[in-house]
């Protein structure tokens, strides 16, 4: 269960103008993104042509997390803000807590796939609020989103101070679920979609239940690369193939974030080229997974997912 400090929800409820929500919605965008590298790492650790159902489930959840991040960007644009994704602070440091002052002591890292990781980390992230008791001083992420929805409804059309031309839809990529946010109705339905896909709702199986179903699927023998958890580029000697590929993955993922920021900064036509970088990240990660980790050849190199400055 993702729990955020109650002060963040109180800040939403106490907002007096759309600009008061900019930093809070930016934090939500960062939170939605923060699950992508851990989920991708687990998927990359599955050897090619194995565990198709597990791979397919994780892939679909990653796509939905990217959708949630995109919805957050549209929402921030609608409120007159400007999404910031190309920033060293946007990528969390793994292992560590998730953004938005998440409580409960949950530490999320970059680990190879296992049922333990699914149960103890992924399902914990996605646990519906209906399954967890209240925690003093913290509210659920669902409560945060509902507070944003209620505040927008309170303001009505005056909430939408952003340029409508900065809205991104991309029906060919997200099946029509990413819509332009221009009024209370479109804001409400977009927020409801994030909560429903994350926690589950009538007719929608949330991520928690999708991950739970994976616990009933046995892994094919010798089908998971034993990745070094939380691989850092600095762990890899300069001049080696491991170091080169790790740097290439970091650079490609940073270019992905840079391209997404450009997309939501008034350049939606840049999205097709940008999203192709996600496939490149997967391919580079799969190549890394075949290489021995320095000092322990029983392990393989995992994807670092570190920010790469523009000049690297």
**DSSP secondary structure of 92-110:** PPSSB--TTT--TT--B--
Q: What is the pTM of this model?
A: 0.95
CATH superfamily, region 3-225? Ferritin, core subunit, four-helix bundle (1.20.1260.10)
Query: What is the H or E stretch that residue 212 is in?
Result: helix 207-214
267 exposed, middle or buried (CB, 10 Å; 0-12, 13-18, 19+)?
Answer: middle
- pLDDT of 228 reads 98
Tell me the C-alpha distance between 192 and 57, whole Å.
22
Closest CA to 310 of 120, 108, 86, 150: 86
- pLDDT of 33 reads 96
Tell me the C-alpha distance between 312 and 308, whole Å.
6
- pLDDT of 312 reads 45
- pLDDT of 201 reads 56
- pLDDT of 197 reads 87
Ordered mean pLDDT values, 10 residues apiece, the chain (312 residues): 88 97 97 97 97 97 95 98 95 92 82 98 91 83 95 98 93 89 98 85 76 96 97 96 98 96 92 90 98 95 93 50
Strands (DSSP E) contained in the chain are 3-5, 138-140, 292-293, 296-300
Pairing of strands 292-293, 296-300: antiparallel
């Amino acid at each position: 269960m993702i729990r955020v400090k109650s002060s963040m929800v109180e800040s939403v409820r106490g907002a007096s103008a759309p600009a008061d929500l900019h930093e809070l919605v930016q934090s939500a965008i960062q939170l939605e993104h923060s699950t992508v590298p851990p989920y991708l790492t687990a998927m990359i650790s599955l050897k090619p042509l194995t565990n198709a159902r597990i791979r397919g489930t994780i892939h679909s959840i990653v796509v939905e997390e990217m959708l949630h991040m995109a919805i957050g960007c549209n929402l921030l644009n609608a409120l007159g803000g400007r999404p910031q994704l190309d920033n060293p602070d946007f990528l969390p440091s793994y292992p560590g807590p998730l953004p938005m002052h998440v409580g409960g002591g949950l530490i999320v890292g970059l680990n190879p796939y296992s049922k333990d990781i699914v149960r103890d980390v992924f399902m914990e992230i996605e646990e519906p609020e209906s399954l967890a008791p209240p925690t003093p001083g913290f509210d659920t992420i669902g409560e945060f989103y509902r507070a944003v929805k209620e505040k927008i409804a309170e303001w009505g059309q005056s909430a939408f101070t952003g340029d409508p031309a900065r809205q991104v839809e991309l029906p060919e990529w997200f099946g029509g679920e990413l819509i332009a946010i221009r009024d209370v109705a479109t804001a409400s339905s977009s927020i409801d979609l994030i909560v429903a896909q994350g926690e589950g709702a009538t007719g929608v199986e949330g991520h928690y239940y999708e991950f739970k179903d994976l616990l009933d699927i046995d892994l094919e023998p010798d089908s998971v690369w034993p990745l070094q958890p939380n691989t850092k580029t600095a762990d890899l000697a300069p001049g080696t193939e491991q170091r080169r590929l790790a740097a290439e993955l970091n650079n490609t993922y940073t270019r992905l974030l840079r391209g997404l920021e450009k997309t939501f900064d008034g350049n939606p036509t840049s999205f097709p080229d940008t999203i192709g970088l996600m496939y490149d990240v997967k391919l580079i990660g799969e190549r890394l997974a075949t290489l021995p980790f320095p000092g322990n050849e029983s392990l393989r190199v995992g994807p670092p997912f570190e920010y790469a400055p523009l000049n690297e």
